[in-house]
Structure 1
Amino acid sequence: MTTRSQTTPPAPAPEEIGLHCAALHSRVFSRLVTRLFNNRLADSGLRITQFSVLNAIKARPPESIYQLAELLGMERTSLQRTVDKLIEKGLVETQPTGKKRSLGLTLTPLGETSYQQALHGWQDAQQHFESLVGAANWEQISRELRGFSRQVKQTL
């Protein structure tokens, strides 16, 4: 009877890690896309992270910061810092939800105005991005990324 060795496989070379690391390539891509969107949103005074939070609140007003963090796939503490900045700017307000001590989030009238102004920059950035990668390609890739995100989230 033969037994298999219980040794670990050899570690990949640094070049191999650089070529195949999912975390590295997703972060590089994310930083570049973030820069593209931030450049197009600059006139609005919002960054893409802030715009994305405003958009999520507008689309589905959350009953808690935790619910919003889950929706956006963000750490609650990082999201809280962004939300606090939006509250300081007068763009977002909290209100009791009636569920324990949870506070819901909504856009203020100024937040709605800022969102609408930033929306033009977002549309410009999105159109430019899609012209670079192809609209049909991006539709397929974004669908796959949402699926990958669900799969990874289930393991955390």
Structure 2
Amino acid sequence: MNADTHATSATPVGCTNFKLRQLTRRVTQHYDQHLTGSGLKITQYSLLTHVDRLGPLAPGELARRMDMSASTLTRNLQPMIAAGWLALGEGVDARSRLVHITDTGLELRRQAQRRWKAAQLSLNEKLGVATVAALHGLLDEGLAAFHEEDTHGD
């Protein structure tokens, strides 16, 4: 499926970046409201989930897998390491480090997962399951186009 599949006779109006940022802010607020009481923001929950699922991995690899810059990852990791949710352990040699989730982080993620699930179900209800599925498809296509551009050096 390509972008033309989703095209209509209307020409896009306004700034795509602004519209995406507006929606991202609203969706983030939605998830953060549901996560209230867990002690986590959605970005922290996402980091815990990625580290839990991917196992111990180098910060650079984690940043790549989460499609974020190394500096953004470092900024997000620091308070989570300080809180004892994540830790930096030894890597394959003395100069490398691996990020891993602690027992405290695992428990916090497990507790927050119920709230995340409620947020997802609530979002599905608010927007409609078909709309959320279509949105996921469009976002995946957009991300794939940028990843393709990155790998081709265009």
With the shorter chain as reference, the TM-score category is 0.7 to 0.9
- Report whether the alignment pairs 1:70 with 2:64: yes
CA offset at residue 62 of structure 1? 4.9
Cα RMSD (Å) = 1.9
Partner of 1:120: 114
Cα separation, 2, equivalents of 1:98 and 1:36: 40
2:59 counterpart of 1:94: no
Residue type of the partner of 2:65?
L
Counterpart residue number, 1:150? 144
Runs of 4+ off more than 2 Å: 99-102, 153-156
Unaligned regions of 5+ residues in structure 2, if any? 1-10
Corresponding pairs, count: 140
Q: Tell me by how many angstroms 1:100 deviates.
A: 6.6
**TM-score, normalising length: structure 1:** 0.82
1:51 alignment counterpart = 45
Q: Radius of gyration: which is bigger?
A: 1
TM-score where L is the length of structure 2: 0.83
Q: CA deviation at 1:54?
A: 0.5
Quote the offset at 1:136 in angstroms: 2.8
Percent identity (aligned): 24
Q: 1:111 maps to which residue?
A: 105
For residue 43 of structure 1, give the secondary structure of its aligned residue in structure 2.
Answer: coil
8 Å CA contact 2:56–2:101 kept in 1: the answer is no
Q: Give the unaligned 5+ runs of structure 1.
A: 1-15
CA 75–66 in structure 1, closer or farther in 2 if over 3 Å, else same = same
